[in-house]
Structures are given as C-alpha cells and as structure tokens.
Amino acid sequence: MPIHCCDQSWLVRIVASLSSEVALDRALPLRFASGTMPPWCEATTRGITAIIGSDRVSLDVSVAATLDDDVAMTAFTMKEGGACASSSPMRR
C-alpha cells in the first residue's frame, strides 16, 4: 500500500499467516526510467538499496534479502500466527 509523505512515497507490505505454515518467495525487480536504465544496487544490513541519479529505492525487510542482478529476492517460511513487514521509501 503506497503512503505519501513530504516528497517521498512509501510502499509497505505486511505478510501474515493466519492458519498454517507456508513457504514464500518474493522478487522485486528494481527498474528506473521506465525500465531503460539499470540501477546501482547494494545489499545493506536492513535490506537492499537501488540508486540511479537522484532516484533511490531502499527496501527495508525483516527477513534476509539477496540481489540477483537488479532483482531483490527474499525466501522464507511463515509459521502459523507469524507476521513480517517490509517497507520501501521511494524518493524522486
């Protein structure tokens, strides 16, 4: 769900398992300039950061994240009653 504040937008995703254990894989392709320019990406202690020019996306996740080219990936198992959140401020 996008949240707009100041000159930033935030994308927040909350995943919860209500009644069973489930394995989850998530991939977020990081693209800028309508997909024409690959960003400079790096793994951080809190997730992934992608930058091109003055545009920046910081992915803050509560599970381990990896980079495959310019795709941020997470894989984890959500146990019954568990929840995790990811947030990403996007600045233009």
pLDDT at residue 90, as a whole number = 60
pLDDT at residue 55, as a whole number = 83
Could you tell me the pTM of the whole model?
0.64
Nearest to 55 by CA among 1, 7, 5, 6: 7
What single-letter DSSP state applies at residue 20?
A: S
Using the structure block, give the residue that is written with the tokens 């959140």: 85
pLDDT at residue 6, as a whole number = 60
**CA–CA dist 22, 16 (Å, integer):** 10
* Residues in the chain, pLDDT under 70: 1-8, 87-92
pLDDT at residue 75, as a whole number = 86
pLDDT at residue 15, as a whole number = 81
Coil, strand or helix at 33: helix
* Residue span of the structural domain in which 48 resides: 2-91
How far is CA 74 from each of CA 3, 11, 23, rounded to the nearest angstrom? 22, 16, 11
Here the tokens at position 66 are 């990896």
Task: Give the count of domains, the chain.
Answer: 1
pLDDT at residue 5, as a whole number = 56
pLDDT at residue 1, as a whole number = 44
pLDDT at residue 89, as a whole number = 66
Using the structure block, give the residue that is written with the tokens 């398992």: 17
